[in-house]
């Protein structure tokens, strides 16, 4: 790492002790930014990096609620409003027992660059709770969401901060959150949350957007090597929103997705995952992958283990951070891997990224490859602002244009800085320069 950036990084790490995921995200970005500071010494003088690493606002709050047996439960809620240079804070809410400040900050930090890359007017933020929706009844989830919003509502707004979903937060949760916001404020402020239902202000393609976008980005990477997804053997991790829609899109483009996972195990389905059955099991019944395997002939279920043991030419990690380590990456490379498109945020460890890059595998980092979700959220905000709703075809066309644009911007930036094909560098520099320019123009705030 560039020596000037090294000392800023050390200060940032020391100021934020115990936040391993945030440290990892910061180091990864700093490693790309040396050449930018050679060209733009004004960024150093204005302490852009020091300011970027310090969230504009961090909110931590108590979320009390009662479970179905009448017992009082207490969770912790978070919203980190990281950077508003380009627009209102924008980023999802994650409900998962692993959530703590370090995870929310890593996600919020990544979100700044991702949102800049989309070319849309949105800043970066992220939030969530250590609440675990798994195994909770609808009534419990509703009471939790209502209590969470009873504090969060005073911090958000269509021109201030616009949350959306992430792990554990889908259409059901957004509905309960929106209802409580409307009740407290007495405003039908559609643009305050994205990921809403279609009949009450949502956008077509938003549920599919992250997974579809990841596959479109991966297709663009493959095109640079004169190939495509057609005929590829694909492995996807996860079986939630991003994973299911990535599987659907990859198969539409002619690939065969032979495996996917949840946090209990994985399935191998050599005929190609049956997306309708997977949606039925995971989205309608809120069941487990094991149930999928029990209902389809010729499918094997592996309890525990790693889905990255299955050979593939294309890998789409769509579950969670640090789920693919250096050993798994080396195994995939030995199995003939051509490309990785990150649907999840930071799913590959730093070791894994190094293995992929050394082996010449096309590697699309999450902040570029999974930006289709937030980009379509921005399209949802546009529709809300103009009280309009667009067709599926039109919205998907916009998503495709945006993803191709992100790919091309990353590729062109990597070329400009002398590292053709390095999408990590392209994404980090491309996103950073846009935000840094806006911060410079807006003065010391
Ligand atoms: P979901 O909650 O819909 O699905 C998450 C999936 O990942 C589930 O299959 C889950 O398994 C698995 N998973 C979660 N945590 C772990 C873990 N610790 N170990 C193993 N498996 C795990 O979330 P999404 O699909 O929305 O999000 C997936 C990833 O995509 C996240 O990294 C998120 O930040 C990122 N992302 C999401 C966007 C969106 O629009 N939703 C936008 C951009 C990025 P199980 O069911 O067993 O818990």
Given the structure tokens 């409307």, which residue do they identify? 182
Phi, psi of 186 (to 5 degrees): 60, 35
- Please indicate whether residue 343, judged by its CB atom, sits closer than 6 Å to ligand 1: yes
- Please indicate whether residue 242, judged by its CB atom, sits closer than 6 Å to ligand 1: yes
Q: Residue 116 and residue 430: Cα distance in Å, rounded?
A: 8
**Atom of ligand 1 at shortest range from CA of 242:** 25
Provide the token pair at 74. Answer: 């207490």
The number of angstroms, rounded, from the C-alpha of 233 to the middle of its chain's C-alpha atoms is 23
- Please indicate whether residue 377, judged by its CB atom, sits closer than 6 Å to ligand 1: no
Question: Is the sign of the CA dihedral 353, 357, 363, 367 positive or negative?
Answer: positive
Given the structure tokens 């804070």, which residue do they identify? 89
* Distance from residue 203's CA to the centre of ligand 1 (Å): 21
| 434 carries an active-site annotation | no
Homologous superfamily of the 207-364 domain (CATH):
NAD(P)-binding Rossmann-like Domain (3.40.50.720)
Q: Residue 177 and residue 189: Cα distance in Å, rounded?
A: 12
SS3 143: helix
* Distance from residue 39's CA to the centre of ligand 1 (Å): 38
Q: Which of 91, 98, 1 is nearest to 55 (CA)?
A: 91
Whole-model pTM?
Answer: 0.97
CA distances from 424 to 253, 302, 308, 336, 371 (A): 25, 33, 21, 21, 14
Q: Whose CA is nearest to atom 37 of ligand 1?
A: 166
* Distance from residue 35's CA to the centre of ligand 1 (Å): 34
Q: Whose CA is nearest to atom 40 of ligand 1?
A: 373
Is 281 within 8 Å of 293 (Cβ atoms)?
A: no
- Please indicate whether residue 262, judged by its CB atom, sits closer than 6 Å to ligand 1: yes
Please pick, among 114, 126, 282, 434, the residue that the annotation labels catalytic. 126
- Please indicate whether residue 319, judged by its CB atom, sits closer than 6 Å to ligand 1: yes
Domain boundaries in the chain? 3-189, 207-364
Q: Whose CA is nearest to atom 36 of ligand 1?
A: 344
* Distance from residue 10's CA to the centre of ligand 1 (Å): 31
- Please indicate whether residue 222, judged by its CB atom, sits closer than 6 Å to ligand 1: no
* Distance from residue 283's CA to the centre of ligand 1 (Å): 13
Is 238 within 8 Å of 260 (Cβ atoms)?
A: yes
Q: Residue 195 and residue 330: Cα distance in Å, rounded?
A: 37
Q: Whose CA is nearest to atom 19 of ligand 1?
A: 263
CA distances from 132 to 94, 146, 157, 167, 238 (A): 10, 15, 26, 10, 17
Q: Residue 432 and residue 29: Cα distance in Å, rounded?
A: 9
Per-residue pLDDT 10s for the chain (445 aa) are 888 899 999 999 999 999 999 999 999 999 999 999 999 999 999 999 999 999 999 999 999 999 999 999 999 999 999 999 999 999 999 999 999 999 999 999 999 999 999 999 999 999 999 999 999 999 999 999 999 999 999 999 999 999 999 999 999 999 999 999 999 999 999 999 999 999 999 999 999 999 999 999 999 999 999 999 999 999 999 999 999 999 999 999 999 999 999 999 999 999 999 999 999 999 999 999 999 999 999 999 999 999 999 999 999 999 999 999 999 999 999 999 999 999 999 999 999 999 999 999 999 999 999 999 999 999 999 999 999 999 999 999 999 999 999 999 999 999 999 999 999 999 999 999 999 999 999 999 9
Q: Residue 26 and residue 37: Cα distance in Å, rounded?
A: 16
Q: Whose CA is nearest to atom 46 of ligand 1?
A: 262
* Distance from residue 47's CA to the centre of ligand 1 (Å): 35
The number of angstroms, rounded, from the C-alpha of 83 to the middle of its chain's C-alpha atoms is 17
Provide the token pair at 162. Answer: 């616009």
Q: Which helix (H) or strand (E) holds 164?
A: strand 161-164
Is 380 within 8 Å of 202 (Cβ atoms)?
A: yes
Given the structure tokens 């991702």, which residue do they identify? 114
Would you state the pLDDT for residue 319? 98
Provide the token pair at 345. Answer: 């945020």
Q: Residue 317 and residue 322: Cα distance in Å, rounded?
A: 10
The number of angstroms, rounded, from the C-alpha of 249 to the middle of its chain's C-alpha atoms is 17
* Distance from residue 242's CA to the centre of ligand 1 (Å): 7
- Please indicate whether residue 133, judged by its CB atom, sits closer than 6 Å to ligand 1: no
Q: Where are the alpha helices (DSSP H) in 129-227?
A: 138-152, 171-185, 206-223
Q: Residue 220 and residue 218: Cα distance in Å, rounded?
A: 5
The number of angstroms, rounded, from the C-alpha of 405 to the middle of its chain's C-alpha atoms is 18
Q: Exposure pattern of 341-357 as b/e (b: 16+ CB <10 Å)?
A: bbbbbbbbbeebbebbb
For the chain, the first-to-last Cα distance in angstroms comes to 27
- Please indicate whether residue 236, judged by its CB atom, sits closer than 6 Å to ligand 1: no
Q: Exposure pattern of 285-324 as b/e (b: 16+ CB <10 Å)?
A: eeebbeebbeebeebebbeeebbbebbbbbbbbbbbbbbb
Q: Which of 323, 187, 314 is nearest to 262 (CA)?
A: 323
CATH 3.90.550.10 at 3-189, yes or no: no
Q: Residue 355 and residue 351: Cα distance in Å, rounded?
A: 6
Is 315 within 8 Å of 352 (Cβ atoms)?
A: no
- Could you check whether 3-189 and 207-364 share the same CATH topology? yes
Would you state the pLDDT for residue 1? 82
CB-facing half-sphere around the CA of 430: CA atoms within 13 A: 27
């Amino acid at each position: 790492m560039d020596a000037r950036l090294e000392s800023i990084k050390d200060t940032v790490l020391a100021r934020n002790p115990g936040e391993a995921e945030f440290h990892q995200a910061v180091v990864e970005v700093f490693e790309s930014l040396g050449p930018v500071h050679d060209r733009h010494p004004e960024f150093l003088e204005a302490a852009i990096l020091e300011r970027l690493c310090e969230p504009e606002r961090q909110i931590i709050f108590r979320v009390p609620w009662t479970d179905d047996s009448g017992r009082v439960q207490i969770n912790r809620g978070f919203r980190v409003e990281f950077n508003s240079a380009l627009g209102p804070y924008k980023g999802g809410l994650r409900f998962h027992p692993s959530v703590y400040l370090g995870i929310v900050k890593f996600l919020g930090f990544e979100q700044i660059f991702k949102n800049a890359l989309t070319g849309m007017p949105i800043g970066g933020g992220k939030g969530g709770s250590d609440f675990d929706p798994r195994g909770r009844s609808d009534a419990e989830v509703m009471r939790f969401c209502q209590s969470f919003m009873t504090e969060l509502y005073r911090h958000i707004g269509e021109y201030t901060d616009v949350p959306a979903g992430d792990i554990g937060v889908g259409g059901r949760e957004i509905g309960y959150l929106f209802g409580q916001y409307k009740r407290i404020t007495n405003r039908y402020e559609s643009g305050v949350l994205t990921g809403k239902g279609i009949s009450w202000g949502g956008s077509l393609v938003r549920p599919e957007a992250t997974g579809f976008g990841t596959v479109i980005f991966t297709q663009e990477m493959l095109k640079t090597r004169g190939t495509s997804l057609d005929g590829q053997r694909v492995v996807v991790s996860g079986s939630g929103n991003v994973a299911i829609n990535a599987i659907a899109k990859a198969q539409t483009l002619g690939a065969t997705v032979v495996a996917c996972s949840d946090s209990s195990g994985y399935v191998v389905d050599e005929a190609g995952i049956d997306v309708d059955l997977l949606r039925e099991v995971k989205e309608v019944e809120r069941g487990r992958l094991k149930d999928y395997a029990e209902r389809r002939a010729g499918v094997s279920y592996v309890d525990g283990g790693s889905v990255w043991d299955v050979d593939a030419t294309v890998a789409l990690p769509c579950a969670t951070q640090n789920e693919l380590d250096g050993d798994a990456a080396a195994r995939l490379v030995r199995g003939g891997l051509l490309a990785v498109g990150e649907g999840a945020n930071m799913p590959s460890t730093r070791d894994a990224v190094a293995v992929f890059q050394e082996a010449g595998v096309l590697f699309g980092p999450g902040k570029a490859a999974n930006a289709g979700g937030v980009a379509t959220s921005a399209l949802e905000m546009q529709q809300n602002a103009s009280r309009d709703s667009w067709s599926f075809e039109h919205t998907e066309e916009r998503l495709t244009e945006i993803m191709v644009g992100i790919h091309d911007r990353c590729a062109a930036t990597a070329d400009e800085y002398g590292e053709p094909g390095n999408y990590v560098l392209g994404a980090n520099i491309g996103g950073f320069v846009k935000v840094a320019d806006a911060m410079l123009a807006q003065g010391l705030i």
